[in-house]
Amino acid sequence: MATIVVADRAGACFGVERALSLVDGVLSAGGTPVHTMGPLIHNPQVVASLEERGADAVDDGAIRGLPAGDRLVLRSHGVVPEVADEAAAAGLEVVDATCPYVKKVHRAAQRLAAEGYEVVVVGQAGHPEVEGILGHAPGAHVVGSAADARALPDARRVGVVVQTTTEKGLLDEVVSELLARFGEVRVHNTICEATRERQEAAARLADSVDAMVVIGGKNSANTTRLAEICAGRVPTCHVESASELDPAFLAGADTVGVTAGASTPATQIHEVVEALEAMVGEGR
Ligand code: F3S
């Protein structure tokens, strides 16, 4: 019978737990309709279950059309400042579930811009968190690689902030490119420890098992990165729920490791672990 081992750091981070608990409180209180600004977290199952409970995800274009008095929950990975302004103008009650660590990036970007730095955001272009950061430092440049850093326009002073889920290796590469090009480089390392801890725990576990199962949204950048880290070490499957598990994948594995992205609640991890245990039990 295969042994199932869960990584010692896996699943929902502080910011996601906080956002879920805020929206849960709002829904439980009853009252006016509840909406979330985009998906609350990158987890389709959680977003669907919130919708079933009455909190639908809306995009920023829809804010003006919402009835005054409705409640709007701002997602954990942040929004551009205009969203809160528009919501206030539309008479909505805003519940801010932005992770405090993401807010720290917003403040750092804002300060750097105000102090005259050319602001560089190290992260993934187009990611909602990065869009939110750009909204706090208009004109900032998104850099996703050392090559992007080399392509930046000339500037006297460059100030760097980092998407919270970025790998430290990428930040180091970008900073060394910037140091070679610009007279002054000020770096705010705003990488969130939750991401690093989960990546290191996943790599440690993957090195000690025969196969890995990674749980979390396929649209979640940090979960996808966990799957890539594990796949570089052992056969790995990335699932959003237990229904996607394939018993054939477990054949021949004596130990199976499990990890989950920062947007995966504990309930989803338990469901998958229970299903895995049932599968390896049946396979005896
Ligand atoms: Fe916040 Fe870090 Fe999670 S920035 S949302 S605690 S991954």
Contact 258, 276 (CB under 8 A): yes
**Which phi and psi (to 5°) does residue 6 adopt?**
-95, 140
Ligand 1 atom nearest the C-alpha of 222 is 7
In whole angstroms, give the CA distance from residue 253 to residue 276. 12
In whole angstroms, give the CA distance from residue 14 to residue 67. 32
Name the architecture of domain 14-99.
3-Layer(aba) Sandwich (3.40)
| The domains spanning 3-11+194-282 and 101-191 adopt the same CATH topology | yes
Q: What is the ipTM of this complex?
A: 0.99
For ligand 1, whether the C-beta of 13 sits within 6 Å is: yes
In whole angstroms, give the CA distance from residue 104 to residue 133. 10
Q: How do the domains of the chain map onto residue ranges? A: 3-11+194-282, 14-99, 101-191
For ligand 1, whether the C-beta of 11 sits within 6 Å is: no
* pLDDT at position 129: 94
* pLDDT at position 282: 56
For ligand 1, whether the C-beta of 20 sits within 6 Å is: no
pLDDT tens for the chain, 284 residues long, are 789 999 999 999 999 999 999 999 999 998 999 999 989 998 999 999 999 999 999 988 889 899 999 999 999 999 999 998 999 999 999 999 999 999 999 999 999 999 999 999 999 999 999 999 999 999 999 999 999 999 999 999 999 999 998 888 999 999 999 999 999 999 999 999 998 899 999 999 999 999 999 999 998 888 999 999 999 999 999 999 999 999 889 888 999 999 999 999 999 999 999 999 998 875 44
In whole angstroms, give the CA distance from residue 144 to residue 252. 39
DSSP state of 229: H
Contact 77, 100 (CB under 8 A): no
C-alpha angle with apex 9: 5 to 124, nearest 5 degrees? 120
- Any idea which residues carry the catalytic annotation? 129
DSSP state of 281: H
H-assigned helices in 99-192: 100-114, 128-136, 146-150, 168-181
Task: Specify the amino acid at residue 15.
Answer: G
* pLDDT at position 1: 72
CB atoms within 10 A of CB 267: 13
| CATH 3.40.50.620 correct for 101-191 | no
CATH topology of domain 3-11+194-282: Cobalt-precorrin-4 Transmethylase; domain 1 (3.40.1010)
- Residues flagged as binding site for [4Fe-4S] cluster: 13, 99, 192
* pLDDT at position 284: 40
CA of 254 to the centre of ligand 1 (A): 33
Ligand 1 atom nearest the C-alpha of 16 is 5
